Structure formats: C-alpha cells, structure tokens
Amino acid sequence: MSDRPNILLIIIDQFRADLLDGGLARTADLKNLAALADQSCMFRRHYSVTTPCGPSRVSLFTGQYAMNHRAIRNGTPLRHDTPNLAREMREVGYDPLLFGYTDVAQDPRVLPADDPRLTGYEELLPGFTEVVRQRQETDDTAWRDLLRSKGYDVPDGMDLYIPDGDSIDSPARYKAEDSDTAFITDRFLDRMSGQAPGWFATLNYIRPHPPLVAPAPYNRMYDPDDVPLPARPEDNALHPFVAAVQAARPASGLVKGFPDLKATTETVNRLRSIYLGLAAEVDHHIGRVVEWLKTSGRWEDTILVVTADHGEMLGDYGLWGKGTFHDAAFHVPLLIRVPGRRPGRIEAMTESIDVAPTILDLAGRQAPESMNGISLRTQIETLLGGKSVTFSEHDFADPVNPTTLQQILGLSAPLSNFAVLRTDTHRLVHFAGPLPQIAFDMTGAGESRDISAMPDQGAICLDLSRQMLCHRMAHPESTFARTMVIDGGVKKGPA
C-alpha cells in the first residue's frame, strides 16, 4: 500500500447489523458484504450513538456524541466551526469527495437569511466536495432527470416511491438498473475510474431507508413466509414511551400510497421482505464497487470502511423506524479492510464516533480534541480490545412544531429525549422527563422483559445509572479540554 492510501467510506442508510451477522443474515444472504466481512476486521458489536439520519451522520463525521455537537434532530443546525472528518482529511492533502448526502442542517449565523441552504436539513457537511447531489426529500434532480431521459413518467415529490401496483410489494415504477441505488453507484464508478491515486471518497446509499419500495426483482426476492418473525415482548404491559411510539409511528409510515395499512402478520412479513430486498440491492452494487477496486488494480491500495448511520426496528416489539431505544435501532455493521492486515472478528463494543478518529489515524492525522471517539487502529492490528460500555441518545422533540410523541406524553422539548447505556450484560434506558427507566438483562430474557421494576434488580439498575452518569461526566464537549493559556502562551497536555 502506498504512503497515502485511497480510502473509501461506504455508509448505508437504516441498515441493521443482523442483516449481515445475526437473525436476518441467513435469510438475507448478502453474498458480497459477507465476502467482504471475511476479508475485513468485523466489529460485531458496533453501535450508532444517536438517531435519526442527520444526528447520526453528524456524530459519525465529527466523532462527537449528540450531547456535544447538539445537532440532535433532522433540522437542528450544526455549529459551523465544529471539526469534522472532511476538514481534517483536507489537512493531510485529501480532497474529500461526496457521493450522495450528509443530512447536515447549516448554521444560520454564517449565512444570509435568504440562502437556499436554510430551507431544509439535507445539506452538505462543510469540508466535502460534492460530486453527486442526491437528496431524497428535497433535491434528487440528477436522478429524476435521468429517469425522465429514459422515458419514465416521474411524479413530483415522494409520489415517485408509490409502488406500481395495488400491493405494497408491487415493484417500483423504475427498473433495477435505473434505481437510486444503481444511479449513485454508476456515478461513483464513472467519476472514480479516472481519479488519481491518493483519494478519499464517501459513498452513501439511501437504501434500505423507507419508503419501502423496490424495483423488480428485489421487491419479491424473498418469500415473506421465509423471513424471521419480529421479536415480541414477554410482558404485554407497555411502557408509556413504547405505547406512544406505536401510536405515533405505525407500519403505514414505511410505505407510500397505503395510508390505511394495518400491521397484520401478513403485512409485517411483507414489509420485512421488501426491506431485505432493498438490502440485497445495495449488496449487489457494493459488489460492483469491490469488483471495480479489484479489476482496476486499486484493491491493495485502498482502505475500505463499510458502516451504517443507524438501524431499523422493522416491527420488532411492535415498533417501526429508528426512534426508539432497542438495539435494532442502533446496532449497525462496521467492516474495516486495511490491505496487509489479517481479517478477523472483534467481539468488544465500539461506537460510531470511533469511525472518524480511525480513518484519520490510518491517514496519518491525529484526531482533534473535540472528538469523543477513539481510533480503532490497535484493534484492527491486534484483533483485541474495545469498550466496556457504549452510549446512545435520541431526541424526539420539535421545538417549533411539537411532535406527536410530545403531545401524547405531555412533554416539553427539553424533556423529550432519552439515553441508552449498554454493558456486556445489561441495557439501561433513562428519560430526561418523568418517564420511568427501562432496563434489560441481556443474559436472560434480553429486550423482551423490562427488569427495572423488579425488587431484586434495584442494585443493578442503580449501578447502571451510576455508570451512565459517570460516562456522561467523562465525555463532555472537549475542544479545549487539553488546552491551557498560561505563562509562556498556549500549551496543550498529552492526548
């Protein structure tokens, strides 16, 4: 590998870890990602530190917990001077190329009030060179123009994602070779085929993010009866937050054109099968990218990182989307292939905030003080080590137009959030407002049974609460944490 390697970061949207390693993997059978996993360092217990899309990507690129970058919702601005992966890579000579999107709301303090970038959250993280602009909600003009040039009738807005038929698993109105997944891959391969060595690129796949509609044959690639059933709770007594999420975010929200869709067993299985089909489509196109790296002679000069911004509940525990506390919403894959390093699987926990420091380390750049994550280079080289706890957050408020969850639960914006602490054996969910804690014993019934109210579990829950408090206190915003202004000027302590 050359002194300055090529680095490719692939981010898949709303992609559960168990599609590749776990309950859904045998059915999904994602051959290209599975083959890549066998050639990579696979972090089996890797978790996003926040949801949904915008906050999770900000954390991934800035290496910061949501409690520090505070871009906590889709639409909450990121401070313009926040250090991030793209800017740091420029410092070591890379031109960070973006294919897709970053979902970063801009800082209104540094832009004119009438700037069009202040009309939506699907904007560009400062530091990236945007090669292909692709936005699902606000601007996917390039892809739609391509569809029109091929004779498709392209409706406005999200109606493009209404299935072409009377069933939720009817095919998309575009062919597989013309899908948004195919489009972004084609554009990536077209551009990068002529790229000089020593490049850094980020390739973003919007799928399998909803709306759940897939082109043929992916729409019916999997028999719904063959897809594993969703997980169910042992106790029928719903926590107030779970009941609110079930009411506010029904299964019908994952598809377009079926507003009265009911979550029957048949419907749930069909939705899960479409999701697997979209994942298979992404797998196919990642296979194209890997094949291009190999046939073009770039394979042994390219560090390849594959991960996801967050997961998807997919009907587990009666929940859909990513706005809840279960592992399925946060547990995502992380594959890192460094040429010359032996592959293997790491069982210790890691977090999405570790991705940016790791890429910087592999590129020869020390991560800035502001990053809460750690470099995983030692784990890649030794296949040992990791974290004893992971920490995630989710904010379910809207300070301008209160969310349905806020209204159901009667919570103000500052109280509408929760944090999750994970250890090897337990999970703790703590809400900012008056909602009761939730705790799971992962060595027993797991997430199927809340143990927080059990009298004999009080000491465990207290210890988990202490660990969560300690973790928050040990990871504040740290831009100047090692910096002192003293006699002789500005000094920094050791990292």
| Distance in angstroms (rounded) separating the CA atoms of residues 315 and 245 | 12
**Which tokens go with 439?**
């705790």
459 located within any domain: no
Catalytic residue among 41, 53, 461, 470: 53
Residue 142: in which H helix or E strand, if any? helix 141-149
461 located within any domain: no
What single-letter amino acid sits at 190? D
469 located within any domain: no
433 located within any domain: no
Neighbours of 472 (CB within 10 A): 15
User: What domain range is 257 assigned to?
Assistant: 6-394
Question: What single string gives the DSSP state of each residue in 368-402?
Answer: PTT------HHHHHHS---BS-EEEEEE---SSS-
47 located within any domain: yes
Structural domain count, the chain:
1
pLDDT in tens, 405-459: 999 999 999 999 999 999 999 999 999 999 999 999 999 999 999 999 999 999 9
How high is the pLDDT of residue 2? Answer: 62
Which residues of the chain carry a pLDDT beneath 70? 1-2, 138-139
- CA gyration radius, the chain: 22
| Distance in angstroms (rounded) separating the CA atoms of residues 358 and 375 | 4
462 located within any domain: no
How high is the pLDDT of residue 141? Answer: 85
**Which tokens go with 474?**
């040990």
Identify each DSSP E strand in 369-425 by its residue range. Answer: 390-395, 417-422
Residue 361 sits in a domain whose CATH number is 3.40.720.10
Of 477, 492, 490, nearest in space to 82 by CA? 477
Residue 425: in which H helix or E strand, if any? none
Neighbours of 97 (CB within 10 A): 21
Of 82, 304, 287, nearest in space to 200 by CA? 304
493 located within any domain: no
How high is the pLDDT of residue 3? Answer: 78
CA distances in angstroms from 487 to 210, 437, 482, 483, 491, listed in the order given: 57, 48, 16, 13, 9
Whether 41 is catalytic: no
**Prediction pTM value:** 0.97
482 located within any domain: no
